[in-house]
Amino acid sequence: MYFDIAPKMNKKDFFNYNREYLGVIEGLKRGERIIAVLGVRRVGKTSLMSVLFHEKKGINIWLDGRMIENPKKDVLTALQEGAKRKENIIIGSISTLNVSIPGIPLPSIGVEIKKPEPSLKDVKNITLFIDEAQRTGKELGDVLSYIYDRYPNVQVILSGSEIGLFEDILRENDPTSSLYGRHILKIRMRRLSPELSKMFLEEGFRQLNIRIDEVEITEVVSELDGLIGWLTYYGYEKAVRGNPRALEATLNFAIPLVAHELAKFLYNKRNRQLYISVLRSAKGLTWEEMMEEIGNVSEGNLGRVLRQLLNYGFLLKEENRYFLADPILRKALGRVNEFLR
């Protein structure tokens, strides 16, 4: 069912990302050692990873990057645990929006290891999944390099929504990086076009034998754009919960969530108002046009703010023009101060 708000487990429930799915599958078959799935928040990365995790044969290990405190200890410990059990394990959770599939708490197996056990090398076909890998910190690059060099039987699939931070971890083209020279296959997931967003909603309602007004679908696509996470939440409210005010309920859920995410990012920023002004101006303007619209800002300050917002996944840059990564951000800007107190 398209409108299930839990992470997808079957490919039949995963709308329109066949190209990205096949890209990962073909990469695994070719023996790619590290595959990175990139995209903004709520674009479907976790569901793609979850489908692969549940379909792929062999031993699959899932780590939630938010649960990893010490990459050098926790990642290798998880690999050893998977090799010892010889079965799929989830450490942390597979989560999307506010729904998760719980797994083993990391502290329960997060004991320090002095040296990798030989059993890890003996077990074939191990795939390590790390969701939200940018949350682990830059030490993850050293861990991935170690796995790459020592364990040819292990393939790694990573996801990251704060793309700039993720790139800082990988740095495969930086001679000072431990991953320098190691090939990393990158799969980029993009938002749905308005046409595909409409098709997703129509097919989702058709699965449940529900007719929906064309005008309402057009309004929903206009408000939620092509982020499949929000479209799924709307479909769940409308078709599963039978809420006649499903779009309103979706916005009431989404706006404070996005405002809170932005507030966490802004918490230690001294020039918060400039960040907010830049986000308000992100409606397809070029750098020069944004300078003119905001006014009273130096080129250096604007450049730093833009890089930060791009790195943390709040902005997108397309053909030298800046856009909000999530349409909900525009409404969330008016609520962000509630979460900064």
**Contact of 266 with 337, CB cutoff 8 Å:** no
Q: Between vectors from CA 336 to CA 333 and to CA 337, what angle results, nearest 5°?
A: 125
**Residue length, the chain?**
341
Q: Which two structure tokens, joined as six digits, stand for 251?
A: 């916005």
Amino acid at 48: L
Per-domain residue ranges for the chain? 11-188, 194-244, 268-339
| Whole-number pLDDT of residue 132 | 87
Series of mean pLDDT values for 10-residue runs along the chain (341 residues): 86 87 95 92 90 92 87 88 85 60 49 51 87 85 92 92 76 85 90 94 94 93 92 95 95 95 91 94 94 91 93 91 94 91 71
Burial of 214: CB neighbours in 10 Å, binned 0-12, 13-18, 19+ = exposed
Which class would CATH give 268-339?
A: mainly alpha
pTM: 0.85
CATH 3.40.50.300 fits 11-188, yes or no: yes
**Contact of 259 with 336, CB cutoff 8 Å:** yes
Residue 186 dihedral angles phi and psi, to the nearest 5°: -110, 125
Interatomic CA distance for residues 311 and 164, integer angstroms? 4
